[in-house]
Structure 1
């Protein structure tokens, strides 16, 4: 019989800050599972496909790389995933923890979904397929924004939403957000870490803002939307300064009218002298009407707004008329393939404590 682990709640940082609820997480053994293959591997560890010996259910098992604090990190990720996925069909399902008897290390047991959105978009490009239809982009974004809204309602910020961390179900009707390794609770007091993947990181994080919020996720979702439309990432650089330059090349350099505190941000004081302050917003030129309708562009530009105070929340985006069309089990028009090799360079994933 499975034991349970109780995740401790963090102290609230004031009456206005949301608090974390205590959760009880099921605990089993890896001996209960038969591994059938490897799904992915990286600096974080590895994810394996496995079958539960008793029920026959196929699951994904995540192991963190051996490091000081890795077990605490896995417990933290389990708690965040459990909170985010509760009654949320667009976050990968959480099944509990499993302990490896030989080492006593913990593993995360999750729903096994399918290939990543990143790999499927890459495969479309390699096959010379045309861009996704706008109806498909709308269907994917409705699911991702709905998943993000429920996640934010649970007081969780993902901080690393990108196509690699979006899984596409085998029936091609559902997408699910995964990998909560960099997520955090809104109950945690600032300063917050600079965390995320460079190409999808919000400007306020790149600028060193220590008290960012859930709007960093909606920026990332805007980047995902742009990639769904064009098939390639919109902003690509190799360091934080160049990443900001890529963003401002398309969206224009903020000023006191569009973003009042921009010039006083820690990193901005070093960056502003190097920028061409006359740059204007070229986003519509990147996504003309032949690529994206007026209503679709309003959602995209609302998500890709540099000033987080003016950026769309997930809840506000879902109320936009672009999503008025009901989308019941939409076909996502992504080819069904178990494993799609990727030759794209790895995206810089950052987790650095702010000074």
Structure 2
């Protein structure tokens, strides 16, 4: 007998309606619906994200829990999860995003520097906690009314954890990797409370200071040899084709069918000393790193650095750097600018699954990034070039860029209070990457505090006051 269908509606859930007035649905997709709501206790605007996939929900919750208190990461106020219902995340509701800032054009150098510094700070926080976001793009950087940039939408994020991690008996690992179980163990309230109390093992730089590029990637290589892995991507290609998430504010790729017309592959389990189950079928095409376009399932934090370079180029020029129409076209556009992909320009590229099956032809005279950024200074072109390079190990880390002299030279980054913040999102075409509905709101900048857990029967509410 098939299980009863889920209602997928927050309007009938008393534990939510007792605290929030649901105003309207502002985004809808296969895997999530997003609502604008008002908190009854103080009238603050919030976003309610109802996630229909349990693994995506658990990953987003855990990533935001690890990043609590980060100034440049969206705030998770609380979440609700019932045994027979979807997870509902209560997130701060921000009125605009970096895509809208770019869309309005005319971003000055000093302003662009401040936006970039904030974006780098957000990514650095993620990477210090071994979180790879995997969908960095302008629409996923939200902007508060007072100019604070916040990274959102961690539904595709992965947390680097020790595969052999033995939690105490009362706190089992939060993710269920058993392929025979299509639902995460976090679907049950008891498991959710265990998630909250779990002392997650993650890498942290003991000095919390400057580390060299070589040391940064040496640590990553060391983790691989010690059999660290990402939590599995098996059966969890989470994509909301046209979902506008004003709480997490993203619209994923343009295809109705995630992999239609593109060379993308399901990850297979990898044993030995390789990174665990990852999929190349992530992110938004225009910002997707070449290793993902070639079907790699053995990648790391560096995919975020490529995406960040594409974001910065678009911020500086008001145009997307590589606006491909398919994965092959995306690779072709990249090669036409940066040159041929081979063992000389990218050692080890020939070992990536689809390298030998995608023929792009030989490009004798690549245009170079300068041609894509005609009105930008050499320093600005160099900044993007250090992120958008073929060899992942040569991409400059967010930590390194935050200390780059570019940000300490004139013109200096403007104070956050002087940034020009659009009142609402622009009404972009939802069939294009980064498209969204326009919707303004007040920001609610509460931070994480002590967790208050309340249970009533099979209901669970976890509040972060």
For the aligned pair, the TM-score class normalised by the smaller chain equals: 0.7 to 0.9
Q: How does 1:138-157 map to 2 (within 5 A)?
A: 138-157=113-132
SS in 2 for 1:225: helix
Report the Cα distance in structure 2 between the residues aligned to 1:227 and 1:148, rounded to whole angstroms. 17
Structure 2 unaligned spans of 5+: 1-14, 162-229, 231-274, 436-465
Q: Which structure would you say has the larger Rg?
A: 2
**Counterpart in 1 of 2:357?**
270
**Secondary structure, counterpart of 1:309 in structure 2:** helix
The residue matched to 1:34 in structure 2 has which SS? strand
Output one character per residue of 1:144-167: Cα deviation in whole Å (capped at 9) or x when no partner.
Answer: 011100111111110001112111
Distance 1:142 1:346, change over 3 A: same
Asked whether the equivalents of residues 100 and 107 of structure 1 are also in contact (C-alpha less than 8 Å), the reply is no
Secondary structure class of the residue paired with 1:145: helix
CA change 1:141–1:212 in 2 (3 A) is same
Match of 1:71 in 2: 54
- The residue that corresponds to 1:299 in the other structure is 383
**C-alpha contact (below 8 Å) 2:336/2:363 kept by paired residues:** no
**TM-superposed deviation, 1:246:** 0.9
Distance 1:253 1:57 in 2: 52
Q: Is the 8 A contact 1:50 1:59 kept in 2?
A: yes
Q: 1:155 to 1:230 in 2, by over 3 A?
A: same
Which deviations, in whole Å up to 9, do the C-alpha atoms of 1:108-127 show, x marking residues without a partner? Answer: 111111223224433x2xxx
Structure possessing the higher relative contact order (Cα contacts under 8 Å, 6 or more residues apart) = 2
Structure 2 partner of 1:220: 307
Aligned pair 1:110/2:91, yes or no? yes
Please identify which structure carries the higher strand content: 1
Taking a change above 3 Å as real, the CA distance of residues 268 and 105 of structure 1, as seen in their structure-2 partners, is closer
Q: Look up the match of 1:177.
A: 151
Q: Distance in 1 between matches of 2:115 and 2:45?
A: 25
Moved runs in structure 1, 4+ residues, more than 6 A? none
Please, which of 26, 29, 41 is the counterpart of residue 42 of structure 1? 29
Q: Distance in 2 between matches of 1:144 and 1:117?
A: 10
SS in 2 for 1:62: strand
Q: Secondary structure at the match of 1:304?
A: coil
Partner in structure 2 of residue 287 of structure 1: 373
Indicate the larger mover: 141-150 or 256-265: 256-265
In structure 1, what is the Cα distance between the partners aligned to 2:106 and 2:47? Answer: 30
Are 2:48 and 2:91, in contact at CA under 8 Å, matched by a contact in 1? yes
CA deviations 1:59-85 (Å, max 9, x no partner) are 1110124xxxx234312211112213x
Q: Are the equivalent residues in 2 in contact too, given 1:136–1:330 (CA < 8 A)?
A: no
- Alignment partner, residue 76 of structure 2: 94
Equivalent pair of 1:71/1:106 in contact (CA under 8 Å): yes
CA contact (8 A) 1:139 1:330 kept: no
Which stretch shows the higher mean deviation, 209-218 or 278-287? 278-287
| 1:342 and 2:428 aligned | yes
Q: Structure 1 213/30 Cα, relative in aligned 2: closer, same or farther at 3 Å?
A: farther
**Worse-superposed segment, 49-58 or 241-250:** 49-58
**TM-score scaled by structure 2?**
0.61
Relative to structure 1, the CA distance from residue 120 to residue 318 in structure 2 (aligned partners, 3 Å threshold; closer, same or farther) is closer
Aligned partners of 1:92 and 1:47: how far apart in 2?
15
1:122-144 superposed Cα distances (whole Å, 9 cap, x missing partner): 3x2xxxxx531111211111100
Structure 1 residues without counterparts, runs of 5 or longer: 1-27, 125-129, 350-355
Is 1:82 the counterpart of 2:65 in the alignment? yes
Deviation at 1:182, TM superposition (A): 0.6
Tell me, yes or no, if the aligned pair for 2:49 and 2:88 is still in contact at 8 Å: yes
Q: Report how many residues are paired.
A: 305
C-alpha RMSD over aligned residues: 2.3
Identify if the C-alpha distance between structure 1 residues 326 and 236 changes in structure 2 by more than 3 Å, giving closer, same or farther. Answer: closer
